[in-house]
Amino acid sequence: SQQGEEDPQALSIQEGENATMNCSYKTSINNLQWYRQNSGRGLVHLILIRSNEREKHSGRLRVTLDTSKKSSSLLITASRAADTASYFCATDRRDDKIIFGKGTRLHILP
Amino acid sequence: GAVVSQHPSRVICKSGTSVKIECRSLDFQATTMFWYRQFPKQSLMLMATSNEGSKATYEQGVEKDKFLINHASLTLSTLTVTSAHPEDSSFYICSAREVRGKWYGYTFGSGTRLTVV
């Protein structure tokens, strides 16, 4: 399969709680990116983490990368209703292809 | 920042007709562009890599005669869905790769929703 795996596939949490999504991949990478996609819309780039970085923050987002385990996590703190969307990790592979994981559908409950 | 314009955003066509989708890098040159396909509630699947001035490289299982890709200039790649069928209905997204010296980045278009009736 050309895709990585993400878990959970779907996640529902109460507004204000933290949401954690995980991503695993198979091949060596240059960097890993996380994107958000609202239903039926295009992609919004959230954050990029390079293969030599272990953690990165951007506002309420925190991304970790463990290249030894070939995995990454995205944490959204203090979730809001507007965070409801699908979240995808995308690996920038050594063959210059961007390959997407299967995604996590996040639903923030009011 | 870098902008990629994808057009049209939505298109409805009849079975058997062909549809062309354009992907333009507006403020940078893109020697490489990528085409993805996304079915409802699924992820983006890479269809092909488009290189300026050469033939596209298709992923396994993607019919190159059905999905024609042309990358004739450094700012434009087109995807033509030929003899479209209802099962080709999907969301198609392009991405352009910008290279500046040792730095490079990817910018995605806003997608095209194709409905074949």
- In chain B, which residues have their Cβ closer than 8 Å to the Cβ of A3? 43, 45
The alpha-carbon gap from B78 to the nearest alpha carbon of chain A, in Å, equals 18
pLDDT in tens, B73-91: 999 999 999 999 999 999 9
pLDDT in tens, B7-56: 999 999 999 999 999 999 998 999 899 999 999 889 999 999 998 888 89
Q: What average pLDDT does range B97-113 have in this prediction?
A: 86
Measure the CA dihedral A101/B102/A61/A65, to 10°. 60
* A100 contact B CB<8A: yes
The alpha-carbon gap from A80 to the nearest alpha carbon of chain B, in Å, equals 22
* A96 contact B CB<8A: yes
